Amino acid sequence: MGAAAKSGDDGAMPIHDWPEQERPREKLIARGPTALSDAELLALFLGSGFGGRDAVQTARDLLQAHGPLRILLDRPAAELARLPGLGPARSCTLAAGLELAHRHLAAELEHGEAVGNNPAAVGRYLQHRLRGQAREVFMALFLDNRHRLIACEELFHGTINAAPVYPREVVRRALLHNAAAVILSHNHPSGDPEPSSADTRITDELQQALAMVDVRLLDHFVVGEGRPVSFAERGLLAQAQPRLFG
């Protein structure tokens, strides 16, 4: 067969004919994963191309038509499977890779160190859990008296712009876990992580309700696009009042 046929229908050179230092796999081994573009990383999951195009060009086509990367990967596996160049096997591989990343981030919080001393890890974990949700989800991390993670629970689910939050239920779950402290979080599907007046009001109510049973509210993260907003970092949490007895 001639060179043109070997190159594929659009004349593109197959990846195995690329200079070795430019092939995604070899580049990752030599320079680390951060050296790869979004398309190159996605191409490693694809393994091969589609419609006469190599894996990298197929990945670029997917990102151009259905991206950027986060928007593409926030889709459920069943929806990914219907996109050109993916299908059930590749979409399951992508979903499994994302779940591995999720469990890796969760492990940062679960191996016995104080969660309250690592707000960056907490923010990354909550962002990964909540950012792709199409509806508002309200979560709580329950901590022991050394601020180590006891449990993480999705407590309330709502609509595209609101979720009902019941302080009594948050307090009940804190008591059930014998928690000494709590970190709250919810997402804004709109993408804007700025806390609303309703967010501030319910946070105050929850802080007061938890304080009644001697549980401290350490933070409330709002997840949207970009970096999550921390109530504690913004100084939006009321100062704890001193106990009169005990």
- End-to-end Cα, the chain, rounded Å: 87
- pLDDT at residue 11 is higher than 60: no
List, for residues 54-78, the tens digit of each pLDDT value: 888 889 999 988 878 877 887 888 8
pLDDT grade, residue 4 (50/70/90)?
A: very low
Q: How far apart are CA 44 and CA 38, in angstroms?
A: 10
- The pLDDT of residue 173 is 96
Give me the residue spans of the domains in the chain.
10-101, 112-234
CB 126 within 8 A of CB 113: no
- The pLDDT of residue 16 is 67
Residue 89, Cβ density class (10 Å: 0-12 exposed, 13-18 middle, ≥19 buried): exposed
CATH code for the part of the protein at 112-234: 3.40.140.10
Prior bond to 68 cis, omega within 30? Answer: yes
pTM value is 0.67
Mean pLDDT calculated for residue range 112-132: 79
Q: Tokens representing 133?
A: 């949700």
List, for residues 181-191, the tens digit of each pLDDT value: 999 999 999 88
Mean pLDDT calculated for residue range 131-143: 89
